[in-house]
Amino acid sequence: MDIEVTYEGKKNRLNFDKVPKVSELMDRLDINKETVLVKINSEIEPEDIRIKKEDEIEMIKIISGG
């Protein structure tokens, strides 16, 4: 199963043998789960949700300052 993920403006295509969870995508891309929001089909979703092949996935890096 090929999944396309947009992160920091770059599209990444990943291949999985089974339907992955968002957390598995983050692990594969070496993304810290505490530093991003995940949008699936324009909705913010938790990292434990399973992805469907047709989903549009974007990971948005959270930047904080003070």
Architecture of the domain made up of 2-61:
Roll (3.10)
pTM of the predicted protein model: 0.83
What are the boundaries of each domain within the chain? 2-61
CA distances from 22 to 28, 46, 55, 64, 66 (A): 10, 8, 11, 23, 29
Sign of CA dihedral 15, 21, 22, 25: negative
66 residues of the chain, pLDDT tens digit each: 899 999 999 999 999 999 999 999 999 999 999 999 999 999 999 999 999 989 999 999 998 876
